[in-house]
Amino acid sequence: MRDQIARITEEAQAAIDAAPATPALEDVRIKYLGRKAELPNLLRGVAALEPDQRAAVGKAANEARRALEDAIERKAQALAASELRRRLAKDRVDVTLPADPRPATGRLHLITQTQREIEDVFVGLGFNVAEGPEVETVYYNFDALNHAPTHPSRLLTDTFYVKPAGDIFDPNAVLLRVHTSPVQVRAMEAQPPPIYIVMPGRVYRPDSDATHSPQFHQVEGLAVDTDITLGDLQGTLLAFARAIFGEERQVRLRPHFFPFTEPSVEVDVSCFNCRQGVAADGERCSLCKGTAWIEILGAGMVDPNVLDYVRENGYDPEQVQGFAFGMGIERIAMLKHGVPDLRLLYDNDVRFLEQFG
Ligand code: PHE
C-alpha cells in the first residue's frame, strides 16, 4: 500500500508540474484528489488494514494528500500570477498614441472666433477687455444711459423683464440687458479716466427671424480721455474695418440717434463684394443692395448726461469726453463669411460649423 501511495504521489507531482494552465491544473486536482480519485479511495481502505499497519499507512496517505494539496495550491498561485502578467501585457494601452480613428479636433464656434478677432483688433489699438452682467437693472440698462422715460425700448414688447409685473420705471427693476452699453457705466464707476475698453457679451431682445435672435452678442467700445474727438472715433473704426474686412476698406459716418451719444452716427464699411454696387457678374450687388456701403455698427460721442451719472468717479463732462460704439458680433460674422441666415449660427449643425477655423 505504501508503494501505491508513493507511485500516486510521484505521478500526481509530475502531472502538477506539467499542468500548463489553470484549467489543466483543476483536471489534475480532480484526478488525484477528487471524490473518485485513487488516493482518497485508498484512505478509505485504511480502516480494513491490520491494526498494526493502520496508523503508519493512514499517516503516510494523509501526508501524501496534504503534500499534493500544497503542491497544487503553489502551482495554482504561480499559474494565476503568470496568466495575469500575460493578460496585462496583452491588454496594454499606450495612452500617448493617437486614437484610431483619430477623433475630430474641436474648434471654436464662429461667434467665439469672431468675438476674439474683434477683441484682438482693439487690444492691438491699446484697449482693454471688460465684462458686465447679463441680468441688469433698469438703472444701468436705461436710466444712466440717458434714456427718456418715454423711450420705446423700455416697453415690455422690446425688453425681457425678469419680473414684468413690477414697475418697469423703477431703477432697480431687473431685466435682461438689451445691449452691452450698461457695461460702459459700470466700467466708468470702477475705473477713473482715461479709459479705453471693449466689452463683449450676450444681449437679449424679444425678436426672432432670419436676422434677429432673442439672444445675440455685441461688442461695446468706450474711450474717455481729455482730448477725444469724433475724428478719433472715425480713425479707430477705420482701423477696425480694415483689420476685419480688408485693407482697402473705407468707413463713412451717417447721422443717427442714440440716447447715450451726442452726436450719434451709424457707421458703414465700403462693400467688399462689389465695385460701386456692381457685382462681378455685372448684376446689382446682393450684399450691399447696390449701395456700395454696408452698415456695421452704431456709435457717437459719449453724451455729457451719461458722464454726469459717473461724475463722482472722475468723469467731469467739462474735463473729459469720449466716444462709444456698439456692434453685433453675429452681424460681423455673417457679413465676413457670407452666412445667409442668423439661425445657422445656433442650429449647431457640424456641417456648417466645420467650415470655420
Ligand atoms: N447700444 C446700441 C445698440 O444696441 C449701440 C451703440 C453703442 C450705439 C454705443 C452708440 C454707442 O444698438
CA distance 272 to 288: 9
Q: How far is the CA of 266 from the centre of ligand 1 (A)?
A: 9
- Ligand 1 mean position, distance from CA 237 (Å): 14
Q: CA 162, CA 138: separation in Å to the nearest integer?
A: 11
Of the chain, the percentage scoring pLDDT greater than 90 comes to: 68
pLDDT of residue 210: 84
**Ligand 1 mutation target, pool 181, 188, 220, 303, most atoms within 8 A of CB:** 181
Which atom of ligand 1 lies nearest, measured to the CA of 222?
Answer: 9
pLDDT at 5 over 90: no
The whole-chain average pLDDT of the chain stands at: 93
**Helices 22-33 & 51-91, crossing angle to 10 degrees?**
170
The residues that bridge with 254 in the sheet, in sequence order, are: 266
pTM of the full structure? 0.73
Of the candidates 273, 279, 255, 278, which has an alpha carbon nearest to the alpha carbon of residue 338?
A: 273
What pLDDT score was predicted for residue 164? 59
Residue nearest to atom 7 of ligand 1 (CA): 326
Protein residue whose Cα sits closest to atom 10 of ligand 1: 299
Where is 72: in which H helix or E strand? Answer: helix 51-91
Residues within a 6 A CB radius of ligand 1: 179, 181, 220, 258, 261, 298-300, 324-326
Longest dimension (CA), the chain: 128
Q: Encode pLDDT of 255-305 as tens digits.
A: 999 999 999 999 999 999 999 999 999 999 999 999 999 999 999 999 999
Q: How many CA atoms lie within 13 A of 293 on its CB side?
A: 11
Dihedral in degrees, nearest 10, Cα atoms 328, 113, 287, 261? 20
Local structure of residue 105 (DSSP, 8 states): P
Q: What is the pLDDT of residue 265?
A: 98
pLDDT of residue 165: 59
**Sheet of 215-225: strands edge to edge?**
128-129, 195-204, 215-225, 321-328, 293-302, 261-270, 251-258
Per-residue pLDDT reduced to its tens digit, 153-175: 999 999 999 975 579 999 999 99
